[in-house]
C-alpha cells in the first residue's frame, strides 16, 4: 500500500489501525475531496484578491499628503457633523480605508502603515484647524445676538422669580427659545445676565 501522509498525526498514515479508515480508504481524505471548493470557486477567490492588489498599488504610489487630502474630503462628505464629534473622525478613517480596499491596516507592510498613519495625522490636524476657525466664526456671529438675548434672559429670570441664574437656568431659557449657543457664548450670557439682575439672594 502506498504510504500516505496523515494531517492529524502529522506523520505516516496508520491505515486500518486508524478510526477514520473505512472500506480500505481514509474517510478524512474522502471528506476533503467532497467538500473541497471546485476550480470555479478558486477562480472567483482569485478575482476577489485582484482589487486588493490594485488598492495596495494605489497606496504605494500615493503620498501621505495626497491621502490626507482625500481623507479630509471623504470625511466632510460622508460625516458632515465631524466638527461636533471626535468619535465620527475615528469612524470616518475606518470607512475611508475600507472603501479603498483596506480591511485591516495591521496586515500591511510597515512602510505603508507608516504612510497611512501620517496621512491620518495630517488630516486630523487640518480638520482640527478648520474646527477652531468655524468655532471662532460662530462666536463672532453669536456676539451680535447676545445683547438682545441678555435682556430677554433678564426678563425671563425676573418673571420666573429668580434673582440669580444658574447654568441650568440658562439652558432652560435657551431651550424655550429654541436657540443653540457655543459654550463661550453661554458663559457670557450667564455672566452678563447675573450682572444685570439685582442680587436679592444667592443661589448655589
For residue 45, the model assigns a pLDDT of 44
For residue 18, the model assigns a pLDDT of 76
> Of all residues in the chain, what percent are helix, strand and coil, respectively (each to 5)?
70, 5, 25
Mean pLDDT of 36-45: 50
Phi and psi, residue 172, nearest 5°: -65, -40
Give the end-to-end CA distance of the chain in Å, rounded to a whole number: 94
Q: For all residues of the chain together, what is the average pLDDT?
A: 78
For residue 189, the model assigns a pLDDT of 94
Mean pLDDT of 25-44: 56
Mean pLDDT of 81-105: 73
**In this prediction, what percent of the chain has a pLDDT beyond 70?**
73
DSSP H or E stretch at residue 26: strand 25-26
For residue 149, the model assigns a pLDDT of 94
| Contact residues for 182 (Cβ-Cβ < 8 A; gap 6+) | 135, 138, 139, 142
pTM: 0.55
For residue 88, the model assigns a pLDDT of 65
Contact 12, 5 (CB under 8 A): yes
Query: Looking at the predicted structure, is the pLDDT value of residue 130 above 60?
Result: yes
Mean pLDDT of 68-73: 91
Grid cell listed for 177: 427659545
For residue 67, the model assigns a pLDDT of 92
For residue 1, the model assigns a pLDDT of 47
| Contact residues for 54 (Cβ-Cβ < 8 A; gap 6+) | 101
For residue 32, the model assigns a pLDDT of 58
Amino acid at each position: 500500500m502506498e504510504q500516505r501522509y496523515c494531517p492529524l498525526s502529522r506523520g505516516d498514515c496508520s491505515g486500518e489501525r486508524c478510526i477514520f479508515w473505512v472500506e480500505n480508504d481514509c474517510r478524512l481524505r474522502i471528506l476533503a475531496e467532497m467538500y473541497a471548493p471546485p476550480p470555479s470557486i478558486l477562480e472567483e477567490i482569485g478575482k476577489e484578491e485582484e482589487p486588493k492588489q490594485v488598492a495596495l498599488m494605489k497606496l504605494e504610489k500615493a503620498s501621505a499628503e495626497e491621502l490626507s487630502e482625500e481623507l479630509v474630503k471623504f470625511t466632510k462628505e460622508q460625516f458632515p457633523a465631524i466638527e461636533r464629534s471626535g468619535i465620527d473622525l475615528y469612524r470616518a478613517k475606518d470607512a475611508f480605508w475600507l472603501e479603498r480596499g483596506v480591511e485591516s491596516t495591521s496586515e500591511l507592510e510597515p512602510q505603508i502603515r507608516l504612510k497611512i498613519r501620517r496621512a491620518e495625522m495630517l488630516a486630523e490636524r487640518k480638520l482640527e484647524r478648520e474646527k477652531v476657525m468655524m468655532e471662532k466664526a460662530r462666536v463672532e456671529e453669536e456676539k451680535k445676538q447676545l445683547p438682545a438675548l441678555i435682556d430677554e434672559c433678564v426678563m425671563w429670570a425676573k418673571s420666573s422669580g429668580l434673582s440669580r441664574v444658574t447654568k441650568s437656568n440658562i439652558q432652560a431659557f435657551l431651550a424655550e427659545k429654541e436657540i443653540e449657543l457655543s459654550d463661550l457664548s453661554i458663559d457670557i450670557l450667564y455672566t452678563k445676565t447675573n450682572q444685570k439682575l439685582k442680587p436679592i439672594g444667592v443661589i448655589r
